[in-house]
A and B are shown apart, each in its own frame.
Chain A
Amino acid sequence: MAHEHKLEIFRGLVKFKSNIQKIWGVLVFLTIVTAVEVGLGITKPEFLTKNYFIGMKLLNWIFIILTLVKAYYIAWDFMHLRDEKSALRRAIVWTPIFLICYLIFILLFEADYIYNVFKDGFLAWDF
């Protein structure tokens, strides 16, 4: 079995001496990201909730991006995708991403349409 580990994270910005050190480093990073998320969720800064980008609050964009960042480090370092062959990595990552993006696109558009029907249609639903 291949035991070599790639010990760089942040595109080589941080390089660890051993695999164990890297694991703790990633834990620290994930904890910081979670703390930032919870902090923002509790304080809800006004400039982030008042401003929108493509129909969604900036705050929610931040949450989703930070979640993807966390997912990346869990998959790359904890599930050691970083050490796998790139073809395996791509097959594992891009297949779901493609399908999920498609699903999100379809269902959220449909939901928004139904919302508008409820809102503007000549039909009372809160009677």
Chain B
Amino acid sequence: MDTTVTTGTEESVWGGGNRPLNASYGKMMMWFFIVSDALTFSGFLVSYGFSRFKFIETWPIADEVFTHVPFFHGNYPMYYVAFMTFILIMSSVTMVLAVDAGHKMKKNTVIWYMFATIIGGAIFVGSQAWEWATFIKGDYGAIETKGGRILQFVNAETGERAALRDFSTALPEDRIKHESNAGIWYQKDGYKTSFSLNEVIEGFKASPNILIRTETINEEGEKTLLNRQESLAKLKDASLVVEGANLIRNEYGSRLFADFFFFITGFHGFHVFSGVLINIIIFFNIILGTYERRGHYEMVEKVGLYWHFVDLVWVFVFTFFYLV
């Protein structure tokens, strides 16, 4: 680019004088990075596909997992993710507008558009944090069987999911806490669920309107609902109560689902986060007039490429995690 060394070799091909494919060095390197990062992300998404195809009959249904919208109660599948997608596309738009204003050397316009881009990115990262928190917390709770399968509960009258708190009975029992002085020092207490396994089982036996839903997807594309006898028989395999999700077990179904969710959206969220940081650095550089003095706003264009790439990845994550 124009900022590189200006010696006599300027015009010769091997002296760095010309620009291959009419792209400057920095832009070309940004494209190199983007292509390799695209391959990294596709590796993740395809391995998600691998696990999903492997357990195609029992994979969780995304609309039943992501049903929450902040400040609203009720069942709103996908609305919030759609909102997040829109925010990210919108911040991509302000970024292109910043690049466009940069071409015209309008410093103040670039500043405002960069500011809007940073705000959009921050809203997205915040939304993702909220999404994670909701996912980790869980909402209905479930039972895990000895075979590691998840059993969820459904109210037979309404046909809606039943939470553990809806039917579990409190029993007069104490939970023995694992403490390092009385147990094995390298083991932790583990996480405490609001009900013990016994309380859930007793509560289930006492409420005839609760049925069990297994992970298996039936021909209608819904999870299989057992009748009362089958449910009671299935409950004999119960081994522990699961609430929410972590890397080891999750109440939504296949454990791999939570693992991939944390890994892929986490990796993407980290990209957005670092994108916001880079945008902030560039933002201050613009204010300081660095690019005005340099004579061109190509730096904005380069971070712009990165920012659009993050948006591009999200489009795919959105499809493969939430839609398909």
Decide yes or no: A71 and B315 within 8 Å by CB, A41-B78, A96-B38 being known contacts: yes
A-B contacts besides A42-B63, A67-B319, A111-B52, 15 pairs, CB < 8 Å: A27-B93, A34-B85, A34-B86, A35-B82, A44-B221, A49-B221, A74-B89, A79-B304, A84-B21, A96-B35, A96-B39, A107-B46, A111-B54, A115-B54, A126-B149
Q: Which residues of B contact A (CB under 8 A)?
A: 21-24, 31, 34-35, 38-39, 42-43, 46-47, 49-57, 63, 77-79, 82, 85-86, 89-90, 92-93, 95-97, 99-100, 103, 145-149, 221, 296, 298, 304-305, 308-309, 311-312, 315-316, 318-319, 322-324
Q: Which of A24, A95, A108, A119 contacts B93 (CB 8 A)?
A: A24
Judging by beta carbons under 8 Å apart, are A27 and B53 in contact? no
Which residues on the A side are within 8 Å of B52 (C-beta)? 111
Cα-based distance from A114 to B53 in the complex (angstroms): 9
Q: Which residues of A contact B (CB under 8 A)?
A: 1-3, 19-20, 23-24, 26-27, 30-31, 34-35, 37-38, 41-42, 44, 49, 60, 63-64, 66-67, 70-71, 74-75, 77-80, 84-85, 87-88, 91-92, 95-96, 99-100, 103-104, 107-108, 110-112, 114-115, 118-119, 125-127
Which interface residue of B103, B147, B318, B319 has the most chain A CB atoms within 10 A? B319
Which residues on the A side are within 8 Å of B324 (C-beta)? 60, 63-64
Cα-based distance from A30 to B23 in the complex (angstroms): 27
Which residues on the A side are within 8 Å of B147 (C-beta)? 125-127
Judging by beta carbons under 8 Å apart, are B315 and A107 in contact? no
Judging by beta carbons under 8 Å apart, are A100 and B39 in contact? yes
Judging by beta carbons under 8 Å apart, are A114 and B23 in contact? no
Which residues on the B side are within 8 Å of A115 (C-beta)? 53-57
Give the Cβ gap from A13 to chain B, nearest Cβ, in Å.
21
Cα-based distance from A71 to B57 in the complex (angstroms): 29
Give the Cβ gap from B11 to chain A, nearest Cβ, in Å.
18
* Interface SS majority for chain A: helix
* Interface SS majority for chain B: helix
Judging by beta carbons under 8 Å apart, are B31 and A92 in contact? yes
Which residues on the A side are within 8 Å of B315 (C-beta)? 67, 70-71, 74
Judging by beta carbons under 8 Å apart, are B89 and A19 in contact? no
Which residues on the B side are within 8 Å of A60 (C-beta)? 323-324
Cα-based distance from A26 to B90 in the complex (angstroms): 11
Decide yes or no: A78 and B311 within 8 Å by CB, A71-B316, A115-B55 being known contacts: yes
Judging by beta carbons under 8 Å apart, are B78 and A42 in contact? yes
Q: Which of B53, B148, B309 contacts A108 (CB 8 A)?
A: B53
Judging by beta carbons under 8 Å apart, are B79 and A2 in contact? no
Decide yes or no: A23 and B82 within 8 Å by CB, A1-B298, A84-B21, A111-B53 being known contacts: no
Judging by beta carbons under 8 Å apart, are B93 and A127 in contact? no
Judging by beta carbons under 8 Å apart, are A38 and B79 in contact? yes
